[in-house]
Structure 1
Amino acid sequence: MKFDLHTHHFRCGHADGTIPDYIEAAIAAGLSVIGISDHTPYFGSEEDQAQPRIAMAKSEFASYVEEVLSLKQKYAGRIEVLLGIESDYFPEHAEVYRNILNRYPFDYVIGSVHSVKNVSIFNKNRWKKLNPEQQIADKEAYYELIRDSARSGMFQILGHIDAMKGNYPAFSEIPATAAIDETLQVIAEQQIVIEINTSGKTKLSGGWYPADSILERALHFGIDVTFGSDAHTPSRVGDEWNEVAARLREIGFDHWVYFKNKQKVSVPL
């Protein structure tokens, strides 16, 4: 059975299409399960919509949840629709996010680090002024945030855990093997799932997040994996699902998972 847990829609301000557009695309692609997981608002800001091109307004959040729950019922028997959300991880605002997210019946919450030292991980200009030691420090700071997010207990899934390479492919060559292994150990201890995210093809790095080398280490540590296209257009729903499944089998995985009511559902590969 096919599933995709990472999709967005118009509310976040940088994706196209409505939620039904993504559900219909999932049905057309032969998926059995589709997760809707748009970006949370910036709950740490006093503004209603602090970043209109990045995340939905706080005033839209309840209607987002209500719409997905309604569509669960509408599409029952045709496809299983899951209520998800992709949440940024900001340590200083973690309790605010936790308290708000706990009010709603999410099937899963994806925790993603999109900012390190108050600069977007996708900002390629951040690297231009950094010497090798500073580059290592930024990469280690990224993985420290991912470790903290895993320990927070807020998330079932961690999103795109090497996405900092997205617009700076040389990121992968910055030496930080110990930091990555430490991060994977923490993820394993906390029994958090990581996603294989196929949206890297929309960035300069190409490929998937995370790299095969990280997936091999994840298997070594006993970490479960899931699938997310991170679709921002309906046409990308389920994108490269078969190719990812084949690669995971080659690496040695025999199953992957999705979540329903925050409980793992195992799917054989």
Structure 2
Amino acid sequence: MTKFDLHTHNQMCGHAIGTIEDYVKAAIEKELKMIGISDHAPYFHSEEDHPKPGITMAKSHFNRYVNEVLRLKEEYADQIEVLLGIESDFFPQHSTVYKQFLDEYPFDYLIGSVHFVDEISIFRKGRWEGLSNEEKVKTKERYYHLIEQSASSDMFDILGHIDAMKGFYPEFSNIQVEAIDKTLQVIGEYEKVIEINTSGKTKDCGGWYPADEILERALYFNVGVTFGSDAHDPDRVGDEFEEVQKRLKEIGFKELHYFRNREKYSVSI
């Protein structure tokens, strides 16, 4: 099996440790065939260069990020394939601005992630306090509508951690909505890929994103899958790849996808 990890961060975003090269070296040490570097894209829609230090890199650092990954891609070509990726927030009202910036660079793939619903971080611990059941349902529906829009925008290759809103609110998984099936159907129609992201283990919910029941529905809607550790520490590169592969096989998936020059490839599980 070709072992790879398409979702890794580094110190440029301000909340991860280690240089980009540290992640490449960790991947080599763990015998990965490919390592994708996908740090948090700047807030391109902001007039400020760096409106949220500690969340994303600055706009003025973006060229440096791309050039460093391309340098490492060349330097380590005989040891591992380094892929140039990015994890970009999806803000529907600013999607044109993001597309203009991202289309200028030779990315191998783009991860689109929804981190904000109603302008509140999905990881803010207190956001569910005091909400009625009806309000919780509407919040979850809005979350999945944004993910659906991110798929139909055709901006991204991979949709990041599609139930990460459960991170610090495990009860999120028990909120019943029909929106998940609709979202997965659209993801399948646009031939986008979702990631199995093992960073859920670092949050209150434990486990992975998304939950097994969502993966089962994803298979039903012919949604492709890939792997990402979402490592913010080089030690987590490739974390639980074998376990994910085994579980996907049990669910019924036959292959994992990766991207090169925005083209989708597959490897058998």
Amino acid of the structure 2 residue aligned with 1:232: H
Quote the residue 1:28 is aligned against.
29
Quote the residue 1:89 is aligned against.
90
Amino acid of the structure 2 residue aligned with 1:180: I
Quote the residue 1:80 is aligned against.
81
Quote the residue 2:122 is aligned against.
121
Q: CA deviation at 1:30?
A: 1.0
Provide the C-alpha distance between the structure 2 equivalents of 1:50 and 1:153, rounded to a whole number of angstroms.
27
Quote the residue 2:108 is aligned against.
107
Provide the C-alpha distance between the structure 2 equivalents of 1:129 and 1:12, rounded to a whole number of angstroms.
32
Task: For residue 209 of structure 2, give the secondary structure of its aligned residue in structure 1.
Answer: coil
Q: CA deviation at 1:200?
A: 0.2
Quote the residue 1:175 is aligned against.
176
Task: For residue 139 of structure 2, give the secondary structure of its aligned residue in structure 1.
Answer: helix
Q: CA deviation at 1:76?
A: 0.5
Matches for 1:112-191 after TM superposition, within 5 Å: 112-176=113-177, 178-191=178-191
Task: For residue 183 of structure 1, give the secondary structure of its aligned residue in structure 2.
Answer: helix
Task: For residue 227 of structure 1, give the secondary structure of its aligned residue in structure 2.
Answer: strand
Matches for 1:176-215 after TM superposition, within 5 Å: 176=177, 178-215=178-215
Quote the residue 2:63 is aligned against.
62
Q: Deviations over 1:190-218 (max 9, x none)?
A: 00000000000110000000000000011
Quote the residue 2:236 is aligned against.
236
Provide the C-alpha distance between the structure 2 equivalents of 1:90 and 1:150, rounded to a whole number of angstroms.
12
Q: Deviations over 1:211-256 (max 9, x none)?
A: 0000001111111100000000000000000000000000001111
Provide the C-alpha distance between the structure 1 equivalents of 2:222 and 2:147, rounded to a whole number of angstroms.
18
Q: CA deviation at 1:39?
A: 0.3
Any unmatched runs of 5+ in structure 2?
none
Provide the C-alpha distance between the structure 2 equivalents of 1:155 and 1:168, rounded to a whole number of angstroms.
27
Identity of aligned residues (%): 64
Provide the C-alpha distance between the structure 2 equivalents of 1:47 and 1:118, rounded to a whole number of angstroms.
18
Task: For residue 185 of structure 1, give the secondary structure of its aligned residue in structure 2.
Answer: helix
Task: For residue 111 of structure 1, give the secondary structure of its aligned residue in structure 2.
Answer: strand
Provide the C-alpha distance between the structure 1 equivalents of 2:254 and 2:188, rounded to a whole number of angstroms.
17
CA RMSD after TM alignment: 0.5
Amino acid of the structure 2 residue aligned with 1:201: K
Any unmatched runs of 5+ in structure 1?
none
Q: CA deviation at 1:129?
A: 1.9
Provide the C-alpha distance between the structure 2 equivalents of 1:65 and 1:124, rounded to a whole number of angstroms.
33
Amino acid of the structure 2 residue aligned with 1:43: F
Amino acid of the structure 2 residue aligned with 1:212: D
Provide the C-alpha distance between the structure 1 equivalents of 2:150 and 2:169, rounded to a whole number of angstroms.
23
Q: CA deviation at 1:155?
A: 0.1
Quote the residue 1:251 is aligned against.
251
Asked if 1:16 is matched to 2:17, the reply is: yes
Provide the C-alpha distance between the structure 1 equivalents of 2:147 and 2:96, rounded to a whole number of angstroms.
16
Task: For residue 131 of structure 2, give the secondary structure of its aligned residue in structure 1.
Answer: coil
Quote the residue 1:226 is aligned against.
226
Provide the C-alpha distance between the structure 1 equivalents of 2:160 and 2:119, rounded to a whole number of angstroms.
19
Task: For residue 50 of structure 1, give the secondary structure of its aligned residue in structure 2.
Answer: coil
Count of residue pairs brought into register by the alignment? 268
TM-score, length-normalised on structure 2? Answer: 0.99
Provide the C-alpha distance between the structure 2 equivalents of 1:175 and 1:80, rounded to a whole number of angstroms.
41
Matches for 1:30-45 after TM superposition, within 5 Å: 30-45=31-46
Amino acid of the structure 1 residue aligned with 2:17: D
Task: For residue 84 of structure 2, give the secondary structure of its aligned residue in structure 1.
Answer: strand
Q: CA deviation at 1:92?
A: 1.1
Task: For residue 265 of structure 1, give the secondary structure of its aligned residue in structure 2.
Answer: strand
Amino acid of the structure 1 residue aligned with 2:104: R
Provide the C-alpha distance between the structure 2 equivalents of 1:126 and 1:150, rounded to a whole number of angstroms.
25
